[in-house]
Amino acid sequence: MIIRSDNINLKQIAESGQCFRMNELERNKYSLTAFDRYIILTQPDDYTVELDCTEEEFNKIWRSYFDLDYDYKRIIDRMLSGSDTFLKNAAEFGRGIRILRQEPFEALISFIISQNKNIPAIKACIERLCEHYGNRMVHKSTGTIYYTFPKPGVLAEAEKEELKGLKLGYRDEYVLRAARAVADGTLKLDELAGCTHQEAVNTLKKLYGVGDKVANCVSLYGLHHIEAFPVDIWIKKVIDEIYNGAFNYSLYEEYAGIVQQYMFYYKRVQDLKKADI
DNA sequence: GCCCAGGGCTATC
DNA sequence: GATAGCCATGGG
């Protein structure tokens, strides 16, 4: 299956810190585990992405997952026509990023784990969690072994001591309680997708270990409320260093999450590059 | 060994 | 309501 778009870049998506199970296999070739599936993606040029799946699977899963029916160019053009130089640069730099529509439960657990960790460490924790509590699968065409993301019921039944072995640190209690809330029906994630962003955040924040930032990430990446605006260390740096402590995103209110993603990616790549030199 | 990482909870003011 | 210290772990 082949996608053509001006605004899709696997490397940028994989490195944008929104998903943790998309990995580079070789240059311009990535694997992705989501929705109990494992898929291989290649990008021969800036405008083309190939998925190793049927058209049926593509239409059922991946068209939505990659948010392909949304016009990102419209957002970028709007930023490019504005007067904010940082946002212009950020949008131009990250124009292949898309906001993935991840499974709500995976987003919830992943971003609970993410707190106070860097991205490689988050990915390692999540892989351990999947190997331990997910289902072992075999990718048919390559024979690759992979593990699905754990189901709420399985994670809810996890033994505390066993979970501790996965080295989630103090977050293991947060993970356990969140999984139980979903498994026993206290937290209905599917309903939150139909609520407003603000209602979703308010509900999510009732969970022990879920604060404003994690709730916004779940709302954005798991429920696709694109008006969410998660503020982490990197976004804080942007606000402090570029906007003198106050960024007014009301201009971009209904798609603030997309703007935030360009800001995050641009700032992080710039700073990491600087640190590397 | 140091500082930092897609933070949140708790105590204290 | 704001802020400081603490939390557990691994990457750089």
pLDDT recorded at residue A270: 94
Task: Determine which helix (DSSP H) or strand (DSSP E) holds A25, and give its type and residue range.
Answer: strand A22-26
Distance, Å, A117 CA → C11 C1':
9
Q: Would the Cβ of A17 be found within 7 angstroms of any atom in strand B? A: yes
* Burial environment of residue A68 by CB neighbours within 10 A (0 to 12, 13 to 18, 19 or more): middle
CA atoms within 13 A on the CB side of A6: 9
**Protein residue with the closest CA to the C1' atom of nucleotide C8:** A169
pLDDT recorded at residue A274: 82
pLDDT recorded at residue A197: 98
Q: Would the Cβ of A268 be found within 7 angstroms of any atom in strand B? A: yes
CA-nearest of A191, A215, A192 to A205 is A215
Q: Would the Cβ of A264 be found within 7 angstroms of any atom in strand B? A: yes
DSSP characters for A125-194?
A: HHHHHHHHHS-EEE-TTT--EEEPPPPHHHHHT--HHHHHTT--GGGHHHHHHHHHHHHTTSS-HHHHHH
**Digit-coded pLDDT (tens) for A140-170:** 999 999 999 999 999 999 999 999 999 999 9
Asked if residue A256 lies in contact with residue A263, where contact means CB atoms within 8 angstroms, the answer is no
Q: Would the Cβ of A177 be found within 7 angstroms of any atom in strand B? A: no
Q: Would the Cβ of A121 be found within 7 angstroms of any atom in strand B? A: yes
**Digit-coded pLDDT (tens) for A168-179:** 999 999 999 999
pLDDT recorded at residue A112: 98
pLDDT recorded at residue A254: 95
Q: Would the Cβ of A244 be found within 7 angstroms of any atom in strand C? A: no
Question: What's chain A's Rg over C-alpha atoms?
Answer: 18
Protein-covered nucleotides of chain C (CB closer than 7 Å) are 7-12
Q: Would the Cβ of A210 be found within 7 angstroms of any atom in strand B? A: yes
- CA angle, A253 then A233 then A272, to 5°: 110
Q: Would the Cβ of A86 be found within 7 angstroms of any atom in strand B? A: no
All residue ranges of chain A with pLDDT < 70 are 277
- Indicate the SS3 state at residue A33: strand
Looking at domain A1-101+236-277, its CATH class is alpha beta
Token digits for A178? Answer: 């969140």
Distance, Å, A194 CA → B3 C1':
42
Q: Would the Cβ of A236 be found within 7 angstroms of any atom in strand C? A: no
Residues 162-201 of A with CB under 7 A from strand C: 164, 167-170
Distance, Å, A231 CA → B10 C1':
22
pTM of the model: 0.98
Can you give the three-state secondary structure of A43-71, one letter per residue?
EEECCEEEECCCHHHHHHHHHHHCCCCCC
- CATH annotation of A104-222: 1.10.340.30
**Domain residue limits, chain A:** 1-101+236-277, 104-222
- Indicate the SS3 state at residue A37: strand
Q: Would the Cβ of A12 be found within 7 angstroms of any atom in strand B? A: no
Q: Would the Cβ of A275 be found within 7 angstroms of any atom in strand B? A: no
Residues 124-143 of A with CB under 7 A from strand B: none
CA distance A125 to A115: 12
Instruction: Give residue A175's region: left, alpha or beta (phi > 0; psi -120 to 50).
Output: alpha
